[in-house]
């Protein structure tokens, strides 16, 4: 029996795949638990429409991420940290602090999306990479200034 999977099923297929499984497995497990629907012309059309909508949504999200990446490239975040006379920094700036500073500027980014996970512990300008969407990476500049 051919079915269209509504979600990922181990050892069977991924969401949206059309798979051929035994009748009993399809009726008693996949369809009964809402993991799949029977393959018909109507369900095939619905699947194609859903895939097209998902593609359009993906394209919109990608374009928005590219615009945000261009915005981040122009931005410099300033941080003031305690430093000694010789320029030695006491403490560092973490990804959490970078995300909080971006939130103050109206840009919501999860700290886990910041690719450079090492805390910034040197004075001056440091470039930090941020993954905004699948395959879209923006570069942000963080400037550390010392106060004695």
* pLDDT over 90 at 53, yes or no: yes
**Environment class of 72 (CB within 10 Å of its CB; exposed 0-12, middle 13-18, buried 19+):** buried
CATH number of 2-65: 3.40.5.10
Note the CATH architecture for domain 68-147.
Answer: Roll (3.10)
**Environment class of 142 (CB within 10 Å of its CB; exposed 0-12, middle 13-18, buried 19+):** buried
* pLDDT over 70 at 37, yes or no: yes
Q: Model confidence over 3-28: pLDDT tens digits?
A: 999 999 999 999 989 999 999 999 99
Domain ranges of the chain: 2-65, 68-147
* pLDDT over 70 at 107, yes or no: yes
**pLDDT score for 148:** 65
The residue among 99, 100, 92 whose CA lies nearest residue 132 is 99
pTM: 0.70
Band (60; pLDDT cuts 50, 70, 90) = very high
């Amino acid at each position: 029996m051919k079915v269209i999977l509504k979600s990922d099923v181990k050892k069977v297929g991924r969401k949206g795949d059309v798979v051929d499984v035994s009748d009993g497995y399809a009726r008693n497990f996949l369809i009964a638990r809402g993991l799949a629907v029977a393959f018909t012309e109507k369900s095939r059309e619905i699947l194609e429409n859903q895939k097209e909508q998902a593609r359009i949504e993906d394209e919109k999200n990608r374009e928005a991420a590219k615009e945000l990446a261009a915005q981040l490239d122009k931005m410099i975040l300033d941080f003031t940290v305690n430093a000694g006379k010789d320029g030695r920094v006491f403490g560092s700036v973490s990804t959490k602090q970078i995300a909080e500073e971006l939130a103050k500027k109206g840009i919501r980014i999860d700290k886990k999306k910041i690719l450079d996970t090492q805390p910034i512990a040197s004075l001056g300008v440091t470039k930090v990479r941020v993954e905004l969407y699948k395959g879209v990476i923006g570069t942000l500049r963080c400037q550390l200034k010392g106060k004695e």
